[in-house]
Structure 1
Amino acid sequence: MIIQPDTWSALRAFTPARIALGRTGVAPPLREVLDFRMAHAHARDAVYSVLDMDAIETALAPLTCHRLRSKAVDRHTYLQRPDLGRQLEDETLLTPANADLAVIVADGLSATAVNRHAAPLLHLLTPSLQEAGITVAPICLLEQGRVAAGDPIGYRLRTKMTVLLIGERPGLSAADSMGAYLTFGPRPGLTDESRNCISNIRPEGLDYAAAADRLLHLIGASMRLGLSGVGLKDQSGNEQLIA
């Protein structure tokens, strides 16, 4: 059948969202239906993907990594019990590092995202942190982890703040989006207003260089002001704050 295009089809050049799909009679075109089903399958696969600790640790060498698990014993438990994903299976594996920053890489809802993007981002960020005089504890690789699991990690490591890289909930236009959460003064019991988030880190979204620059700015501002979350605004374009 003939596909009837939408009058606003030109907007598809600016977004991967499913807009201006056209019509075949009263239904979407077959190729769009099949693309939707494929995207849904990719999203489901991402949710059940596995954190590849071996590959990430190899990619980050010679940086030291610690391997950790949450109290969620498997993926089924992780999805049904978010509270267990916020707690560490064994906190005694961590000893004080007395560094400025703890970096945590957690699978979240898309291990695919951190498997692809965590190491390239950290390769850009780590040298900039060293140049800024910010010390970094050994990187923690966390399996079946939620965002708040970074709080007990930072608390046990006695770092001033944490940056947690985590796979975001997959969507139908991106199954590999990674987020970065910054928390100053990490300790158990903190809630989301205590954090800053940078989302959609991936080549097709916020690219590695832009994400590293934004992270570096927020880390520096957080260190200077002694806070994070709602009190810390992203003003990375303001040269007075960067200087």
Structure 2
Amino acid sequence: MADTDADPKDAPAPSNASPWDALRRFTNARIALGRAGSSLPTAPLLAFNLSHAQARDAVHQPLDVDALHAALQEAGFDTLDAESAAPDRDHYLRRPDLGRKLNDESTARLRDHEGKGFDVVFVVADGLSAYAATRHAVPLLQRMRSKLDGVRIGPVVVARQARVALGDGIGELLRARIVVVLIGERPGLSSPDSLGVYLTYEPRAGRSDAERNCISNVRPEGLPYDAAAFKLLYLLNEAVRLKLTGVSLKDDSDALLSASERTTLPPA
């Protein structure tokens, strides 16, 4: 007769247990999913289909511009609006070149903005995941603001149908020393809301990707906000010191995570 008082934890492991099972808690990668005959079990198959749908939705979901402006203003930021030359999402996806330049109305609006130049201008852009911009841009900017005392921060520009290079034209028109673009990255099957951060020293139209630095996968499940803010502050300081960004600016911030953080940009 079976011992009804036996501890279930003491039960022998099932004969079909996989040595990969213990590793699943360390990664979101789809490993050790099991099988049902020659196919996947129902649960992981449904989870895959859900992730695929979330990734597709992230690409096509429009940015809630009004809500983002309201959240930024509530956090204490001035804001401006901008759109690329892509008139709609279909053109944006089919014509990446249109997403890299401002439309005429946005160009005129930014050119007419009163100001004598800024040390840093932040751009929050939909990119390929409006989810990412909506969820992660404001928390990251709030952490950055406390680290930039005395720095001339321009209005945060909310950009629609935007590619990374759109920030070059924005920064040039606002006479920014550095432009920082917070943009939704291409969604994956485990991260439909990953935020990328790109910074360019002395932005102007025609800058290449080799002339900017990137911090990727900013989100609580990836690179947390505090760590991303630390890296961004390090790169901003180094960009001002070296007067450049891009392949010649190396991110050595990981070695300094336990050191005291510098709280302001050095003078020009």
Report if TM-score (shorter chain) is over 0.5. Answer: yes
How far 1:5 moved relative to its partner? 4.3
Match of 2:182 in 1: 165
- Would you say 1:30 and 2:30 are equivalent positions? no
- 8 Å CA contact 2:230–2:261 kept in 1: the answer is no
Find the counterpart in structure 2 of residue 218 from structure 1. Answer: 235
Structure 1 position 8, deviation (Å): 1.0
**Structure 2, unpaired ranges of 5+:** 1-13, 263-268
The answer on whether the counterparts of 1:22 and 1:28 sit within 8 Å (CA) in structure 2 is yes
* Runs of 5+ consecutive residues of structure 1 not aligned to the other structure: none
Equivalences, count: 240
Specify the structure having the higher radius of gyration (Cα): 2
- Matched with 1:8 is 20
Percent of pairs with identical residues: 50
Which deviates more from structure 2 when the two are superposed, residues 88-97 or residues 219-228?
88-97
Indicate how the Cα distance of structure 1 residues 106 and 3 shifts in structure 2: closer, same or farther if over 3 A, else same.
Answer: farther
Cα 1:36–1:225 change in 2 (3 A) is: same
Alignment of 1:104 with 2:123, yes or no, is yes
Q: Distance in 2 between matches of 1:114 and 1:215?
A: 17
Matched, 1:147 2:164: yes
Equivalent residue, structure 2, for 1:40: 52
Letter in 2 for 1:92: A
In structure 1, the partner of 2:29 is 17
Q: Note closer, same or farther for the CA distance 1:241–1:156 as it changes in structure 2 (3 Å cut).
A: farther
- Partner SS for 2:196: strand
Query: Match of 2:94, as an amino acid?
Result: Q
Give the 3 Å change call, closer, same or farther, for CA 189–7 of structure 1 in structure 2.
same
CA distance in 2, matches of 1:148, 1:3: 55
| DSSP 3-state at the match of 1:24 | coil
CA distance in 1, matches of 2:158, 2:87: 16
Q: Which amino acid aligns with 1:232?
A: L
The 2-side partners of 1:169 and 1:92 are apart by: 30
1:67 aligns with 2:81: yes
CA contact (8 A) 1:5 1:20 kept: no
Over residues 119-163 of structure 1, what are the superposed CA-to-partner deviations in whole Å (9 max), with x where a residue is unaligned? 111111112112xx3211111000000000010111111111110
Q: Which residue is 2:9 aligned to?
A: none
- Which letter does structure 2 place at the counterpart of 1:127? S
SS of alignment partner, residue 68 of structure 2: helix
What code does the residue aligned with 1:215 have?
L
TM norm structure 1: 0.94
Structure 2 counterpart of 1:94: 110
Q: Choose from 90, 94, 99 the match for 1:80.
A: 94
Q: Alignment partner for residue 49 of structure 1, among 61, 79, 82?
A: 61
Structure 2 SS opposite 1:92: helix
Equivalence for 1:121: 140
**Alignment match of 1:181 (pick from 189, 198, 201):** 198
CA shift digits 1:166-221 (9 cap, x unpaired): 00000000100000001011111111111100010001110111111111111111
CA contact (8 A) 1:5 1:21 kept: no
Helix, strand or coil for the counterpart of 1:134? coil
* Partner SS for 2:148: helix
CA distance in 1, matches of 2:151, 2:252: 20
Give the Cα–Cα distance (whole angstroms) in 2 for the partners of residues 155 and 134 of structure 1. Answer: 18
Q: More helix by proportion, 1 or 2?
A: 1
